[in-house]
Amino acid sequence: MEALIAIGAGLAAFTGVGAGIGMGIATSKAVEAVSRQPEASGKINTMLLIGLAFAETTAIYGFVISLMLITKIG
């Protein structure tokens, strides 16, 4: 049973990878959009920060679940 909990904790921690990739893609697209329309940089930055906050929340949830599973082992 402990092995399954450890595997689940590892998978939960792996959500950070997906969030990191998503944030990288979003940032690159925002930089591309600002380079095309510099006058819209304020709106683009606002939308980028909101999107990054949602993506980071996903990573934090995965981290918290991973910690909860690890403490269940001990």
What ranges do the domains of the chain cover? Answer: 2-73
pTM of the model: 0.79
Residues 3-21: tens digit of each pLDDT: 898 899 889 888 889 999 9
CB 66 within 8 A of CB 13: yes
d(C-alpha 31, C-alpha 66), whole Å = 33
Residue 74 confidence (pLDDT) above 80: no
CB 9 within 8 A of CB 69: yes
Of 66, 64, 62, residue with least CA distance to 22: 62
Q: What are phi and psi of 46, to 5 degrees?
A: -60, -50
- Per cent of the chain over pLDDT 90 is 69
Residue 23 confidence (pLDDT) above 90: yes
CATH topology classification for 2-73: F1FO ATP Synthase (1.20.20)
